[in-house]
Structure 1
Amino acid sequence: MEDTQLRQRVSEEVINKAGNDVDEITKNKKQTKRAAMARRGLRSLAISVIIPVSLTFISRLIHIGQHKPANSLLAPWAMHTFFAISSLVMGLAAWLVWADGGFHRKPISLGLYLTHLVLTLAWDPAVFGFAADMIGLVVSVAMLAALTGCATTFRQLKPLAGDLALVSVLWGGVIVGLNLMHMYR
C-alpha cells in the first residue's frame, strides 16, 4: 500500500526554479499580448489617419486643374496642404476618441466626424469644379458647424482630441472667410 503514496523528495531549489519558470512564462505571455495590442493600435491609428488624408488628396487631385489662380485668394497647393493637415489632425482626434470607446458613448460624435469628412470632400468641387460660390459657402458653413460640433463632443470625451480638433475648426473658419471673399471679389 505504501507504493501508491510514494513521493519524490525534491530540494527547495528545484521548487523555486519551477515556480520561476511559471512566472517567466506568464510574463512572456503578457508581453506578447501587449505587443499584439500595440500592433493593432498602430494599425488602427494608421488606418484612421491614412483614409481621410488619402480621400482628401484624391479629391483635390481630381479637381486640381479646375482652380482659377486669378480668382483664388490662396494658392491651390497651400489649400491642398492645409486641407490634408486638417484631415490628418481630425483623423488623429477621431482615433483618440475611438480608442477610448467614445463613439459608443456619444454616437453623435461619429456622425459629426463623418459629416465633416463628406463636406470637406464636397467643398473643392462645389467652389472650383462647378463654380457655385453660394453652394460652396453653404458647404463651408456646414463644414465649420460640423467641425465645431466635433471639437465640442471630442473635448467631452477626450480633452486632447478636442484640442486637436480646434486646429481644424480654425481652418474651417479660414475656408468660410476665403469663400466669402471669393464670392464678393
Structure 2
Amino acid sequence: MASNAIKQRDPTTTTTTMNNKRRSGGGSRRDKRMVMAKHGFRSLAIAVSLPLSLTLISMYLGLSLHTQQHAHHDDASRKPFWFPPSWVLHLLCPASSFLMGISAWMVWANGGFHRNPVALMLYLTQIMFTVLWDPLVFGFGTIRVGFIVCLGMFVALFGCMHVFGKVNSVAADLVKPCLAWIAFLSIVNLKLVYL
C-alpha cells in the first residue's frame, strides 16, 4: 500500500503525464495560444524576410554591377522634375517587397496557396521580376528589358491583388500600394528609355 501511494505522488510521473497531456492537445488554452502565436510569428518573419532579403541582394548586385561598368543615365539636366532620385527607388522597392510579404503571409495563413496554386505562382513570379529589375536596369543598363520586366511585375501584382482578394480582402488592399508603385516605376523606366 505504501509503495502505491509513493508511485502516485512521484513528481516525475506527474510531470510526464502533464507533458503528454499538453502534446496531445489537452493543455490549457493559454498554452495552445502561445504555441500558435510563436508559429505564426515565425512564419510571418520568414514570409517577410525572404522576399525582402532577395530584393536587398538584388539591389546590391545592381549597384555593384553599376559601379563596375560606370554606365548610368543620371543626367540631372535632362530629367523631369517628377523623376525620383535613385535612393528613393532603392528605398521604395524593399518597402514594396515588405508589404507583399505580409500580404502573401495573410493569404498563406488562410490556406489560399493550398486552395489556389495560381496565387502562389503569381506571387513567385512577382518576386522573380522584382529580383531581376534592379540588376537589369542599374547593373547592365538594359533599360528596355527593364521596362518589360516592370510590365511583367505589374501584371503579376494585378493578378495577386485579384486572387488574394478572394482569400483575404486586407491582403488585397496591401497589394494596391505596391501596384501603384510599380505603375509609377514603369513610367520612370519608360522615361529612362528616352533620356
- For Structure 1 versus Structure 2, the TM-score category normalised by the shorter chain is 0.7 to 0.9
Could you say which residue in structure 2 is the equivalent of 1:58?
Answer: 57
How far, CA to CA, are the matches of 1:27 and 1:70 in structure 2?
68
Q: Give the alignment of 1:31-42 within 5 angstroms.
A: 31-42=30-41
How far, CA to CA, are the matches of 1:120 and 1:134 in structure 2?
15
**1:77-113 Cα distance to aligned partner (Å, 9 max, x none):** 2111100000000000000000000111111010000
1:74 match: secondary structure: coil
Could you say which residue in structure 1 is the equivalent of 2:8?
Answer: none
For the pair shown, the structure with the greater C-alpha radius of gyration is: 1
Displacement over 4 Å in runs of 4+:
25-28
Moved more, 108-117 or 66-75: 66-75
Paired letter, 2:55: T
TM-score, length of structure 1 as denominator length: 0.81
Using the TM superposition, give the Cα deviation of residue 76 of structure 1 relative to its aligned residue in structure 2, in angstroms. Answer: 2.0
How far, CA to CA, are the matches of 1:92 and 1:159 in structure 2?
13
Could you say which residue in structure 2 is the equivalent of 1:157?
Answer: 167
For the 8 Å contact 1:151–1:162, the answer to whether it is kept is yes
Q: Give the alignment of 1:58-137 within 5 angstroms.
A: 58-65=57-64, 66=66, 68=72, 69-70=74-75, 73-137=83-147
Paired letter, 1:169: L
Using the TM superposition, give the Cα deviation of residue 172 of structure 1 relative to its aligned residue in structure 2, in angstroms. Answer: 0.9
How far, CA to CA, are the matches of 2:109 and 2:29 in structure 1?
20
Count of aligned pairs between the two proteins: 161
Using the TM superposition, give the Cα deviation of residue 70 of structure 1 relative to its aligned residue in structure 2, in angstroms. Answer: 2.5
Using the TM superposition, give the Cα deviation of residue 29 of structure 1 relative to its aligned residue in structure 2, in angstroms. Answer: 2.4
For the 8 Å contact 1:140–1:175, the answer to whether it is kept is yes
How far, CA to CA, are the matches of 1:42 and 1:160 in structure 2?
18
**RMSD of aligned residue pairs (Cα, Å):** 1.9
- Give the unaligned 5+ runs of structure 1: 1-24
How far, CA to CA, are the matches of 2:184 and 2:88 in structure 1?
12
For the 8 Å contact 1:64–1:76, the answer to whether it is kept is no
